[in-house]
Amino acid sequence: MSPTRAPHAPARRPLPGWLLVLPAVLFLCAFFVLPLIGNAARSFEGADGGFTLLRYLVLLGDRFNLGVIAETVALSSVVTVICAVIGYPVAYYLVRHAGRFGGVIIFLLIAPLLTSIIMRTYGWQVLFARRGLVNNFLVQDLGLLDRPLQLLNTPGIAIVALVHVLVPYMVLSIATVLQGIDQRLEEGAQMLGASPWRTFREVTLPLSADGIGTGAILVFMIANGSFVTLVLLGGGFQTLPLLIYQQFTTTRDFGMASAMSVVLLVIALACLYLQLRLVRRQGV
């Protein structure tokens, strides 16, 4: 019998689906899941090598630490809401009115992301320093103020800088969903007598809730772990990422840093769950 393949031999069976995702799963296990498990294990390891809950008791049983956790969640929530309020109109304009300028707007949105976050943060310092462009304009050029305003190292500037970094994620998430909405639904509502505002409120907005949800999750998660902007611009915020960094660089209490990062992760997952529930409840 000839060892060569018959002319009409069946084609080789395609690779099973799980094999295709195997490299990604292995990569995630090796460089994400296992380190996370190791990190969590370290947070429960006492000085004598035994099991301890002491760090969590310190972290969750102290008013100051609870305040830091609350501040972390509050800051992320405020930034998320502002990004949604700013991002939705931009996304709406991008999808419905920009026309051939859509590509330019997308480029303008993405362009800041091509710059290092450190450079962007230093840019805020140049603009808003006591002898920066804004204060010089107000004090020297316009003569509106006797002395420069303290604009840096205030909560406002930290929030502005975070929104500046994160709003593109919100815009792109919302725009993607708005793009997929059948405009005939909006036209139908208006033909049946709905005003443009009512059409937006009862048709467009609910249909785009998925995009807002996705954007909110992205923005919240990134803001929750944001670090460089807060370290460089201050603003008086004390968040878990800042304390985690401090445990590593200043006190070298890696166990406490691990416990803090576990708490941060749990907060992020809980908020992710709540946001997903909220979006699904909208019926999308």
Partner 1 sequence: MKGLNRRRFLQTGAAGAGLALTGAPGLLRAAEPKVLNVTAYGGVWETSIRDCFVAPFEARTGAKATVSLGAPAQWLAQVEASPEKPPLDVLIMSPDLAITAAQAGLMQDLTVDKVPNLAHIPQEFTDACLGKGTYLDYGVAGITYNKNTVPNPPKSLAEFVERVSAGEFVASVPSISYAITPIMLIWMLAKALGGSAEDVEPFFAAMKKMKNNLVFWAGPNDFFNHLASGEADIGIYFDGRTWNHHDEGADWIDFINPTEGGALTAVAVQIPKNANPLAFDYMNEMLDAENQARFAEIMNYAVTNTEVVYSDKLKPRITPWQQTAFPPYEAIGKARNGWVDRWNREIGR
Whose Cβ is closer to partner 1: residue 46's or residue 103's? 46
Are 275 and 74 in contact by the 8 Å Cβ rule? The answer is no
Q: Binding segment for partner 1 among 185-193, 203-211, 236-244, 264-272 (CB under 8 A)?
A: 236-244
Nearer Cβ to partner 1, position 32 or 122?
A: 122
**Rule CB under 8 A: is residue 152 a binding residue for partner 1?**
yes
Could you tell me the two tokens for 14? 């395609």
In terms of Cα–Cα distance, which of 171, 175, 157, 178 is closest to 110? 171
- Determine if 153 is a binding residue for partner 1 (CB under 8 A): yes
Q: Which is nearer to partner 1, 2 or 249 (CB)?
A: 249
At a CB cut-off of 8 Å and minimum separation 6, what does 60 contact? 66, 263
Shortest Cβ 250–partner 1 spacing (Å): 5
> How far apart are alpha carbons 218 and 239 in whole angstroms?
18
The correct pick among 144, 250, 281, 283 for binding partner 1 (CB under 8 A) is 250
Query: Mapping DSSP to helix (H, G, I), strand (E, B) and coil, where does residue 45 land?
Result: strand
C-beta of 65: minimal distance to partner 1 in Å?
9
For position 4 contacting partner 1 by CB under 8 A, the verdict is: no
List of residues 6+ apart from 202 with CB closer than 8 A: 189, 194
What φ, ψ does residue 236 adopt, rounded to 5°?
A: 80, 5
CB-nearer residue toward partner 1: 96 or 130:
130
In the complex, the residues that contact partner 1 under the rule CB under 8 A are 64, 122, 125-126, 129-132, 152-153, 231-232, 234, 236-238, 242-243, 245-246, 248-254
